[in-house]
Chain A
Amino acid sequence: MEIVTKNWEKINPLDINTYIRSGGYEALRKVIRETPLKVVSEIKRSGLRGRSGAGFPTGEKWEISAKIVADQKFIICNLDESEPGVYKDRIIAEKNPHQIIEGLLIGAYAIGAKRAFIYINGHYKKPAEILKIALEQAREKEFVGRGIMGSSIDVEIEIFSGAGAYICGEENALINSIEGKRGEPRLKPPHPPVSGLFGKPTIVNNAETLANVPYIIKRGADVYSKIGPSLSPGTKLFLLEGAVKNKGIFEVPLGTTAEDLIFNSLYGGGMEDGKEFWFAQIGGASGRLMPRGKLDQLLIYGPSEYPIGAGSILVVDKMADIKDLLFSWADFFHRESCGKCVPCREGTYRLWEIAKWLKNNDLKERDRENIEDILWTLSNTTFCPLGNFAAVAWSDAISMFSEEIFGK
């Protein structure tokens, strides 16, 4: 099942005509003959959910902004993508940038935004360049700018390069970053669809989410909503890495199991030779650890024991040192904490400190106690979810592999 990855090999990302020949910008043409609210309702009916982690229904989000009367509205494509092990949005931008741009234009039309941004991770130099060229070509073809396709609709798109902070993937921090402020989450409410960039209604959508939009418009919500489970329809790009034989991006319908993804010869093809499965981390550094016995869980958005986050699956074999992993998680979140609230700023630091001692086999009895307190405060008291994320893998590891970590 291919929606996002379809035509990747046929399209030259630097030539808009190859995209147009494969049916590109037809969805946009169709949309501008409809009323914006009709477009919103189509996306709503499709059941599309955000592909960045939280899985919020995209149509519902759009509807909030679309119904607000404001002198200005914005839509932002979130291409900050900084979860370790996740690079799907980068590949979409590199392989088929117009798919993102078209989705963004449709979103802008649906909510009534005249300005759109592509907020791209500062480290993504090549995709930014490709998007820039794609945008110029789309402007020449009058898909972007004033009077789209001869209509009276104006949408300007601007590429905004961030500085590569993980927290700037959080929509409020991202908005702060565009406003020239420090990349930090804001207090909610108000939520961005009501009051976001410069206090105006703002939609922030993940790049993969937007890349699904042209397909939904072209084929209709009914077709899309029948792919995968009804509460979480559509396909998803999963990223397989670690001790699995075939690494890389795989597009499968949501509702596939991790077992299938890892062991099916169409996808992961099983473990690397000589390696034995230990556990899989689902969803990036902020993801939970899935033991062998849970591999039959369906990977979906919505309520689930193992949230799929941005879609990465790290397969860990029994040769791996859990202490190395603990350190790499702690190191990442310590580095990426924005420093705003006490428990995250200090807690991620302390966890990192303890991870260092743990790695050097220099753990004291009191550190064991402290780990529990730190994980607890990170899970329960932080300002934004980053703090909670920092505790997820650690908490699982402590409960699953206490012996390997602390000895008998």
Chain B
Amino acid sequence: MQIKINNKPYNCESGETIFSICKRNGIRLPTLCAHPDLLPSEGVCRMCLVETNQSKGLVPSCVQKVSEGLEVRTETENVNKARKINLELLWADHAGKCAACLRNGRCELQKLAKEYDIDGFKFVPRRKELKSENELDLLKDNWSHVVADEKNPCIARDSQYCIECRRCVRICREMQTVEAYGTNYRSSNTNVGTPYEIPLDCIFCGQCSAVCPTAAITEKDEIEKFEKALADPQKMVIVQTAPSVRFTFLEEFGMPPGTFGEKKLVAALKALGANKVFDTILGADLTIVEEAAELIKRVKNKGVLPMFTSCCPSWVVYVEKYYPEFIPNLSSCKSPQQMMGALIKTHYAKKEKFDPKNIVSVSIMPCTSKKYEAARSEMKASGRQDVDIVLTIRELARLIRKKKIDPIKLEDGKFDPALGISTGAGMLFGSSGGVMEAALRTAAEKITGEELGRVDFEVVRGEEGIRCAEIEINDLKLRVAVVHEIRNAKKMLEDLKSGKAQYDFVEVMACPNGCIGGGGQPVPTSPEIRSARIKGVIVRDKGMSIRKSHENPVLKKIYKEFLGKPGGDKAEELLHTKYTNRKNIS
């Protein structure tokens, strides 16, 4: 089919919306509620209005489907008038405290306000400056129902920034099926919030903060804690960086998604004053080796199967809260972050003769949920919290900007070698299917005792929500599945329950496409952006000299000197954990 937009012909398929065709062809349309992860759109912001030859008034392009003979005009007088008035209305209902805002310069509302010359207030501003935890009760009774929620360990909400676009409501319901958000009150008091305005009770995945157009929902900001640690001469600040953030870090500084930024990331951390920068990939490799051992043991001893990966804390909490009957299926392995954390404050501290109490262990993550994981009471292999501060890559970038550091101009940095050797397998952790592929590389060699010819398991790569495959290793047949987004995980669990599906090993990541689409990753996010990031990961894995976790020389050394055997007593003590039934407990 062909339609005309602003007098130029464009090809399209029936069923497409005007908005999607414009987007594909680079025709600018403002929106505050439409999002590529939330299709079809609901059309609540009334910003993407256009005029067509087939309807009398203005039509929202994000919901209007194309039809034969359609002619669209995207920039008429009425269109711009509508956008401007609606923007003015929203602007006066918004906090409008840009300078101090976490999203300053990355806010979709601010960007549109600039584009449409909104200066000052046409209408009297409605939101007053109110914030802080102890004011919560007071705020609840405030006529405009401003809610500042700081009780969630990972996500901060401040409704004075909220423009009621409902992306969070939808992503939480449609992608994650958690439904932590809803719409409260009505009319001009309409407020996106939680049921009965209890503190946000969720699985901490942070997808809401990744799609929020303003700063109404953000990661819980811990920059200050980090700065304090850096400024304290008594403290040894040891940073680890997650596999995926090296592929997204430079997006925060204007580079395209998928750009490999490991060296600049390390350099920037050193420039900030971090004493040591280690690579979480070593933790990932440890996870793989331990998990492969656990899987082989479960298969051989007829243990509980399928085994679920446990590196995604949101997935773990989801099982604990909603499907506790599956807790025995969760691998007992800690996540890479926590394995690293445990090693830093035990093995490494001992070796370097540091007092672990002076170590501040910091991790840079693609994830809001890791903040919760680090604070879990089980995560004290060293006797104290193994990881002290978790920063999302967004927070780190904010700090770097605040300190006026331009990472692109910095000289390349290198991980400190003690715990800083990377493998391709660990690199793969960044995207959905990566843990599975890395684990298969190791498991296959452990089972056969022979070296793998081809290390790529393409069958587990891809972007579908649930990908299944049968892998044959000698005479052992493994039925594996790779799942991302909780809606798919829920389906997988239900299929297991009803006997519709049978697996031996399942990888689950709560976020779309895995950590590469994590809730703490740079904004904006979309399927295209995530694809570009994944491409970066795959290319990098191919170029690595060591592609299998168990061949990581640092890892081998640690096992030899300290841990003993995978799955052995010492490893069990430091690298494995337990889970809790959290059903009906909030």
Contacts and interface: CB of A to CB of B under 8 A. Distances in A.
A339 B187 contact: yes
Given A338-B187, A345-B164, A373-B85, A187 B63 contact: yes
A289 to B, nearest CB: 22
Contacts of B124: 353
A383 B123 contact: no
A382 B190 CA distance: 16
A349 B85 CA distance: 14
Give the interface SS of chain A, mostly helix, strand, loop or mixed: helix
A339 B190 CA distance: 5
B44 A337 contact: no
A5 interface: no
B58 A380 contact: yes
Given A336-B187, A342-B86, A343-B86, A383 B58 contact: no
A349 B86 contact: no
Range class of the B interface residue count: 35 or more
B46 A383 contact: yes
A139 interface: no
Contacts of B45: 341-342
Contacts of B53: none
B196 interface: no
Contacts of A353: 123-124
B186 A380 contact: no
Interface string A348-362: 111011000000000
Interface in B76-134: 78, 81-82, 85-86, 88-90, 92-93, 122-124, 126
A381 B187 contact: no
Interface in A366-403: 366, 370, 373-374, 376-377, 380-383
Given A343-B85, A345-B190, A350-B123, A383 B185 contact: no
Interface string A218-231: 00000000000000
Contacts of B57: 380
A2 to B, nearest CB: 39
Nearest to A350: B123
A192 interface: no
Contact of B78 (A338, A348, A380, A382): A380
Contact of A381 (B46, B122, B190): B46
Contacts of B85: 343, 373-374, 376-377, 381
Contacts of A245: none
A343 B42 contact: no
Interface in B139-187: 163-164, 182-183, 185-187
A165 B190 CA distance: 14
A156 interface: no
Contacts, number: 93
B15 to A, nearest CB: 12
Contacts of A348: 187-188
Contacts of B92: 346
Interface string A319-353: 00000000000000011111111110111111011
A376 B83 CA distance: 12
A336 B188 CA distance: 10
B448 interface: no
Contacts of A352: 188
A182 interface: yes
Contact of A370 (B40, B43, B122, B186): B122
B43 A341 contact: yes
Contact of A382 (B46, B63, B186): B46
Which has the most chain B C-beta neighbours within 10 Å: A165, A370, A377, A383? A377
A337 B186 contact: yes
A382 B42 CA distance: 13
Nearest to B92: A346
A338 B42 CA distance: 15
A327 to B, nearest CB: 16
A175 B42 CA distance: 17
A346 B78 contact: no
Given A346-B93, A353-B124, 17 more contacts: A339-B164, A339-B183, A339-B187, A339-B188, A339-B189, A341-B44, A341-B45, A342-B163, A345-B188, A345-B190, A349-B188, A350-B89, A373-B88, A374-B85, A381-B58, A381-B85, A383-B44
Interface of A: 165, 182, 187, 334-343, 345-350, 352-353, 366, 370, 373-374, 376-377, 380-383
Closest 7 CB pairs of A and B: A339-B190, A349-B188, A346-B89, A377-B85, A337-B187, A381-B46, A381-B82
29 contacts: A187-B40, A187-B43, A334-B187, A336-B187, A337-B187, A337-B188, A338-B190, A341-B43, A342-B44, A342-B45, A342-B89, A342-B90, A343-B46, A343-B86, A346-B86, A346-B89, A346-B90, A346-B92, A346-B93, A349-B188, A350-B89, A373-B85, A377-B82, A377-B85, A381-B58, A381-B86, A382-B46, A383-B44, A383-B46
